[in-house]
Chain A
Amino acid sequence: MIDRLDAGMRKLSAAMAVLGGLALAAVILSTVVSVTGRGLIPIGLKPIRGDFELVELGTGFAVFAFLGWCQINRQHAAVEILTMRMSAGANRFIDLVADVMMLGAALLITVRHGQGMLDKMSYGETTFILQYPIWWAYAAGLAGAVVFVLVCMHCVLLSLHALVTGKARESGGAVQ
C-alpha cells in the first residue's frame, strides 16, 4: 500500500519537476531568440518584447515545480554533525519533526501564495510590458506548491511509518 502510494508520489513530483525543466528550456529558447533578435535589429529582426518578464515567469514556475522533487528525495540542505551520533530512534523522531515542520511551512507558503493570487486577480494587476495578468503567473506557481504540500504530507506519513514500525523507510527505497 505505502509502496504504491510512494511510487505514485514520486511519479507526480518527477512529472512536476520535468514540467519545470521544460519551462526552463522555454526560458532558454526565448532568451536565445530574443538576444539574437536584439543583436540583429540592424537587419530588421527584433528582440522578443518583454523577454525579461518571460524569464521571470518561467523561472518562478520552475522553482515552485521543483520543490516537491527536492523534498521527496530529501535534498534540502541540513547539518548532520550531531544527529549522526544519536540513536536510530531519535533520528526517526527528528525526521518526523522535520517533516511536520516542512509540511507546516509548505501549507503556509501555499495558502498565502494562493491568497496572493486571489489578490492579484481582484486587483487586475498585469506585468509591465507583456501585460499578461500577474495572477496567471501566481497560478502557475500554485500548481507546483500544491504538489509540494502533497509530497510533504507523504513524507510525514513515511517518517511516521518508520517511527512506528522502527524500520527505516525512505521514499523510493525498499523497507529494510
Chain B
Amino acid sequence: MTGIEIALASFPVLLALIFLRIPIGLAMLLTGIGGIYLITGSFLMISGQLRNLTWGTFSGYSLSIIPLFLLMGQFATLGGMSQALFKAAETWLGHRKGGVAMAAVGACAGFGAICGSSLATAATMGQVALPELRRYGYSGELATGTLAAGGTLGILIPPSVILVIYAILTEQNIAKLFVAAFIPGILAAIGYIITIAIYVRLKPKSAGSRERATYAERFRSLAAVWPVLIVFLVVVGGIYGGIFTPTEAAAIGAFGTGLIALVNGGLTFKSLGQSFLATAGSTAMIFLIVLGAGVFNSFLALSQLPQTAAAFVTAQGFNPWLVMVSVLLLYLVFGCVMDSLSMILLTVPIFFPIMSALDFGLNPEEFALWFGIIVLIVVEVGLITPPVGMNLFVINSMAKETPLQATYRGVLPFVMSDLMRVAILTLFPSITLLGVRLLY
C-alpha cells in the first residue's frame, strides 16, 4: 500500500471509530498511530515523537489562551458579570422573535473583537448565554447551534490566531490581514442574525418569548455592565494599544473578572474550586483533541495525501475559479474531520504557492489577503461542521441535557449561512479588499 492509499483507507476507519462513540481525540490519536505504523513499518516514529509531543502540545504558549479564557468565563459567571452583559444585550434585542439568540451572536461578535480564538469565544459566551437561552425556552438545538457558530466570530473578527499563522506562512502583513478580515467578520455576524430570524420563523417552538423591556430598564441594564466594560476596555485597549499578547490579555481578563467576582462576593474557596473543575473538564477535552489531531496530521503529512491531492488539482489545467472551488471544497471536506489550526499549518504551505500562481485578476498581495480570508472562513466552517467540530464539542460539553446530534442539527443553518458568505466573498474579492484599499 502506498502512503496515499493508507491515508485514504484511514478516513473510513477514523469515522467508524468516531461513530462508535470512541472519544474523538482518542480516535484521531489511534488512527494516526496506526497510519504512521503502516507507512513507516515501525513504531519508532510515533514512540519517539510521544517522548516530547505531549508536553510540547500541552504547554504551547498560544494554546494556553484556552484554559485562561475558560477560567475567565467561570469567574465572569461567578461575579454575575456575564449575566449583566448578556442581560444588557437582551433587554435591547430580546423581545424580538429569536432576539435572545441574536443578542448572543452580538455578544460573541463583541467578544471576538478582544479574543483571537474561536474556542475561547465559544467557551466564554457559552458559559454566559447558554443558561439564559435555556431559561427563555430556546431549544437545545438552536441554543447550542447559535453559540457554536457565534464562537467562530472569535476568529473571523480580528484579532485572530489563525490569521497570524497564515500571515507568517505566506509572508503577509498581519495588520492588513486584520483589516481585510473585519468586513467579512461583520457580515458573518449579520448572516447569523438573519439565520436566527429565519430559523425561528420556520420553527417557532424552538425559541421562547421575552417581554419587551422598557427604555428605563434598558438603560438601567447598561448601568449594570460597567465592570464588564472596564475589563473589556482594558483587554481591548491592551491588545490594540500594544500592551499585551492575546495570552496575556486572557490572563488579565481572568484576573479582572476574578477580582470583580471577589468584590461581588461570588468568589469563595468553594466556588473557586468548582470553577477550576469546570475549566479542567473542557480544557482536557480540547487538548486531547489537539494532541490527537497533531498525531493524525503527522500521519497525513507523511502519507503525502494533501500534497498529492493539491498536485492533482493543479495538474489538470483547469481554470483558476474551478481550482479555487475545488480547493475550498477540499478544505470543507477535510474540515469535517480536522481542526482548523492543524489544517492551516498543513495545507497553506502546499496550496498557497499553487493558488498564487493562478490568475484571479488581483495583484499578489491582494490575492494573498483575499485567499487568506476565504481560507480562514472555510476552516472556521470546519469548526462547526459535524462530526469533528471543536466549537460543537465545546458548547455541547456545557449543555449537559443536549445530545451532540441536536447540536449537529442546530448548527446546520449557520453552516449554510457560512457557505453563502464564502460564495459571495469568493465571487466578489473587492468586498474583502475594500478596507485595505481604503486604509492603505
Partner-B contacts on A (CB < 8 A): 14, 17-18, 20-22, 24, 27-29, 31-32, 34-35, 38-39, 52, 55-60, 62-67, 69-71, 73, 75-84, 91, 94, 97-98, 101-102, 105, 108-109, 112-113, 115-116, 119, 137-138, 141, 145
**Does B135 have its Cβ within 8 Å of any Cβ on chain A?**
no
**A141 to B54 Cα, complex, angstroms:** 9
**Does B170 have its Cβ within 8 Å of any Cβ on chain A?**
no
> Inside 8 A of A62's CB, which chain B residues have their CB?
67, 283
Q: Are A17 and B277 in contact (CB under 8 A)?
A: yes
User: Which size class do B's interface residues fall under?
Assistant: 35 or more
Q: Are A77 and B20 in contact (CB under 8 A)?
A: no
Q: Are A55 and B277 in contact (CB under 8 A)?
A: no
19 contacts between A and B (CB under 8 A): A17-B277, A24-B67, A24-B279, A28-B258, A31-B252, A63-B58, A63-B283, A70-B285, A73-B281, A76-B25, A77-B397, A78-B22, A80-B21, A81-B405, A82-B21, A83-B20, A98-B22, A98-B26, A145-B54
**Does B287 have its Cβ within 8 Å of any Cβ on chain A?**
yes
Q: Least Cβ distance of A167 to chain B in Å?
A: 19
Q: Are A21 and B273 in contact (CB under 8 A)?
A: yes
Give the nearest-CB partner of A104 in chain B. B30
Partner-A contacts on B (CB < 8 A): 18-26, 29-30, 47, 50-52, 54-55, 58-61, 63-64, 67-68, 71, 238, 243-244, 247-248, 251-252, 254-255, 258, 272-273, 275-277, 279-285, 287-289, 291, 386-387, 393, 396-397, 403-405, 408
Give the nearest-CB partner of A58 in chain B. B64
> Inside 8 A of A39's CB, which chain B residues have their CB?
243
**A98 to B25 Cα, complex, angstroms:** 12
**A84 to B405 Cα, complex, angstroms:** 10
Q: Are A77 and B276 in contact (CB under 8 A)?
A: no
Q: Are B51 and A83 in contact (CB under 8 A)?
A: no
Q: Are A109 and B50 in contact (CB under 8 A)?
A: yes
Q: Least Cβ distance of B13 to chain A in Å?
A: 13
Q: Are B21 and A17 in contact (CB under 8 A)?
A: no
Cross-interface CB contact of B397 among A55, A75, A79, cutoff 8 Å: A75
> Inside 8 A of A35's CB, which chain B residues have their CB?
238, 243-244, 248, 251-252
